[in-house]
């Protein structure tokens, strides 16, 4: 198939491009490079020995997207493009609502014009808010604590309404838990903009000596060791989850959690990283971070039963691959 991948130069998109190319698909990436570099496209090509078709374009500009669809017979869209920093979204809500919502609207509108009925959307476990765990797809969504989360919940809603009005549409909404790790080649991975917000890239930068010490945000949660628990998932498992979702698309809107179903605490992740890479990480316990949940992990049976997909890589793989990429990353 000809798959248009929006945000394909980014962290999750680039790994998914690798999986798609390895499955024999033709990949057309549209990315404005606001949070990525063109070099990533070269690296995807190098890993797969294939060639991605690349357009530097902003999805908020509908006419540009229109031109791209007119040039290629697109069979399906995987929509990753979006801004993703929770903290920045609180400071700049307009920027987030505009970028994330207008991009989704433009893309579905152009899909409609060109009769493209297959659509896969990047959502997030954040839409569950402070709900019961494990998170199961049938839960009623609670308001999230930030505009970023709201853009995901709204985009889901938009896709559901559009699908109700157009029964020909097949939409898969994928709610990611905590993607970490990198491709085993060490050529592509996560490159945070400035000081990382997320735990794993923070840990790899401490390991590299870019940052002196890791701050553990709170050890008084009601969890096994008091630190926050998350469902970390290897980014290549996530990438393969997209291929499975694409292969299983059926009419209507279908929502799947992509996680491992296992929770890991901050201290457990630090210990696993130290062991996997024979490195000591210096850290201190500090105050809780505002808005953090005690724990979050996925109920994964729906993805297994309907997509035949299950995460295969473990925490050791995630820690080794994340560190290999950080070592290779010259920035």
**Binding stretches for ligand NAD (CB under 6 A):** 7, 9-13, 31-36, 58-60, 80-84, 99, 103, 122, 124, 176, 179
Tell me the closest approach of the beta carbon of residue 1 to ligand NAD, in angstroms: 21
Q: Considering 11, 55, 148, 221, which one is annotated as catalytic?
A: 148
- Give me the least distance between CB of 153 and ligand NAD, in Å please: 12
Strands annotated E in 195-324: 214-217, 229-230, 232-234, 252-258, 264-265, 283-286
Residue with smaller CB distance to ligand NAD, 71 or 251: 71
Q: Which does 161 bind (CB under 5 to 8 A by kind): ligand NAD, ligand UDP, none?
A: none
206 near ligand UDP, judged by CB under 6 A: no
Exactly one of 3, 30, 107, 199 binds ligand UDP (CB under 6 A); which one? 199
Tell me whether residue 33 or residue 294 sits nearer to ligand NAD (CB atom).
Answer: 33
Give which of 324, 331, 251, 261 is closest to 298, Cα–Cα.
261
Pick from 6, 36, 163, 178: which binds ligand UDP (CB under 6 A)? 178
Residue 81 touches which of ligand UDP, ligand NAD, none (CB < 5 to 8 A by kind)?
ligand NAD
The CA–CA distances, whole Å, from 99 to 29, 61, 92, 251 equal 18, 10, 11, 27
Q: How many residues bind ligand UDP (CB under 6 A)?
A: 13
Tell me how far, at minimum, the Cβ of 122 lies from ligand UDP, in Å.
15
d(CA 263, CA 12): 21
Q: Where are the beta strands (DSSP E) in the chain?
A: 2-6, 26-31, 53-56, 76-79, 118-124, 170-176, 178-180, 214-217, 229-230, 232-234, 252-258, 264-265, 283-286
Give the binding range for ligand UDP (CB under 6 A) out of 18-26, 32-40, 104-112, 214-222: 214-222
Provide the phi-psi class of 43: left if phi over 0, else alpha when psi is between -120 and 50, else beta. alpha
Taking CA atoms, 108 is separated from 11, 138, 153, in Å, by 23, 24, 16
Q: Which of 195, 219, 178, 218 is nearest to 322 (CA)?
A: 178
Of 13, 149, 228, 261, the residue at the interface with ligand UDP (CB under 6 A) is: 228
> Whole-angstrom Cα distance, residue 205 to residue 182?
15
Query: Could you say which of ligand UDP, ligand NAD, none residue 217 binds, taking C-beta under 5 to 8 angstroms by partner kind?
Result: ligand UDP
Beta strands at 229-230 and 264-265: parallel, antiparallel or unpaired = antiparallel
Tokens of 181: 């790790």
Q: Give CA–CA dist 194/204, Å, rounded.
A: 14
Q: Is 232 a catalytic residue?
A: no
197 binds, among ligand NAD, ligand UDP, none (CB under 5 to 8 A by kind): ligand UDP
Q: Which is nearer to ligand UDP, 33 or 285 (CB)?
A: 285
Closer by beta carbon to ligand UDP, 96 or else 119: 96
State the Cα–Cα distance between residues 283 and 31, nearest whole angstrom: 36
Q: Spell out the residues 6+ positions from residue 210 whose beta carbon is closer than 8 angstroms to its own.
A: none
Please report whether residue 78 would count as binding ligand UDP according to CB under 6 A.
no
Q: How far is the CB of 178 from ligand UDP (least distance, A)?
A: 5
- List the one residue from 17, 40, 108, 216 that touches ligand UDP (CB under 6 A): 216
Residues making contact with ligand UDP (CB under 6 A):
178, 197-199, 202, 215-217, 228, 230, 266, 289, 292
Which of the residues are catalytic? 148
């Amino acid at each position: 198939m000809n798959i248009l991948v929006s945000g394909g130069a980014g962290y999750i998109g680039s790994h998914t491009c690798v999986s798609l190319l390895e499955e024999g698909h033709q990949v057309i990436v549209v990315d404005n490079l606001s949070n990525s570099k063109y070099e990533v496209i070269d690296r995807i090509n190098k890993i797969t020995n294939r060639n991605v078709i690349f357009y530097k374009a902003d999805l908020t500009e509908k006419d540009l997207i229109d031109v791209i669809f007119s040039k290629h017979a697109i069979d399906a869209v995987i929509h990753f493009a979006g801004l993703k920093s929770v903290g920045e979204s609180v400071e700049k809500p307009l920027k987030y609502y505009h970028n994330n919502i207008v991009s989704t609207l433009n893309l579905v509108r152009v899909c409609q014009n060109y009769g493209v009925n297959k659509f896969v959307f990047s959502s997030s476990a954040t839409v569950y808010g402070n709900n019961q765990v494990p998170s199961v797809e049938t839960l009623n969504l609670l308001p999230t604590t930030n505009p970023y989360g709201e853009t995901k919940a709204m985009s889901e809603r938009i896709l559901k309404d559009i699908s109700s009005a157009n029964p020909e549409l097949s939409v898969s909404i994928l709610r990611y838990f905590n993607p970490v790790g990198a491709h085993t080649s060490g050529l592509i991975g996560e490159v945070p903009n400035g000081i990382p917000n997320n735990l794993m890239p923070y840990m790899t930068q401490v390991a590299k000596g870019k940052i002196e010490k890791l701050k553990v945000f709170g050890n008084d949660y009601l969890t096994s060791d008091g630190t926050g628990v998350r469902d970390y998932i290897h980014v290549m498992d996530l990438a393969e989850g997209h291929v499975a979702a694409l292969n299983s698309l059926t009419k209507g809107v279908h929502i799947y959690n992509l996680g491992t179903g296992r929770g890991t605490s901050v201290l457990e992740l630090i210990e696993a990283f130290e062991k996997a890479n024979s490195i000591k990480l210096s850290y201190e316990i500090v105050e809780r971070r505002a808005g953090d949940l005690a724990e979050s992990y996925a109920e994964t049976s729906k993805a297994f039963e309907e997509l035949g997909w299950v995460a295969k890589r473990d925490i050791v793989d995630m820690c080794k691959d994340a560190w290999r990429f950080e070592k290779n990353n010259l920035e």
